[in-house]
Structure 1
């Protein structure tokens, strides 16, 4: 007589890629706990399949380039809106071995998730690099041009030769073929990876600035104009990392 598996044993086996024979056997098991486990397993598999299909769709631009034997970099920037701190861009190159289906537009991921996958992204991409333009140059150039400069810097810092660029809603002042993608961080895996790395890099910079300039909440608000930040400006005045050309900061210049 075949020994009946316990529910705990079945739960463990469901995490180990069970065979179709295993699934069929458990489907015939009338125990409520077993059927509950199977429903949870099926929902998880459906979620994985959905993520994989979405991931494959967001690889269309990269695959098109790869089929032509070209190397492309995805580029994104973060930090246009804050009142303080730099604008940061990242450039990321991936190949067809990149398999992180969780990679998406950084705005759709929690800070905990973004930070937790940062190291894995860096290890799995072919290459990545950053560009950083500080508040002084943002005031001199304007934020749009400063963002373009940061993007150019990130591309120029890459160590692999690039044949083309995939850019989120902008173009860069470089003699390289470019594809400007509206909502590119939601349509391209390499741009999505760039958005995550850039966001993490900038957030960490702002946490460092919070140590230098306490009282503004930079560790919480990343330089955006929150109530805490505005209260700090009112009490402490501006710092060297504040963007003096931005309206909410201007009134504190005198």
Structure 2
């Protein structure tokens, strides 16, 4: 990550919350900065799903409207958006008047597509119409009970391994022990990770040790998921791989990136920490 570029981001700095709509609050970050350090597959798929819980604007008569928003950024977009800048941008709508949600959605489409360089999917729903998804663990076998010693807290892809003489399986493995850190503030980012694959059976203890090895890693959510995907892809050579992380809600936002070797439509997920 280019530290000199992040010095200009609002994250880690005291800011005045906006009183008027301002698209210039959005701070794009090139994905290529991180991907240049990874052995990415020639063809892969994915998206970053952001859920926003602090979204409001005014009707033409000045009455506040509150809503829940979901923003889906394709992984193929040239840029991602820094999270605090996105929070400030969303808050900049709170004192503005709009005819309806469609009007504000059109503005968001324009601004976010300009910032990220690709089309964005946006869903805005009033609280009364929001489908309240129940919190539940990610689907799969939770590997956190493995009785292992942990020695590494910086990324160690060399820990990853398949079982000896492993047969080909299809399974879903889950851990709630994912932790990485914001590259600007150093604040911890807590999350749950889901690994679905078809291929030689992965050593579950080795996978857990690898996930824990990200504990002191400093990188954005999206980049951490891409690193996990690329490391597992290289070390275990699966025929198919899907990696998703659901990060704890912070500042009214939760971020849920996924990457896959094949086109996918992952089922919605909401963990207890979201």
TM-score by length of 2: 0.27
In proportion to residue count, which structure has more strand? 2
When Rg is computed on C-alpha atoms for both structures, the one with the higher figure is: 1
In proportion to residue count, which structure has more helix? 1
TM-score by length of 1: 0.29
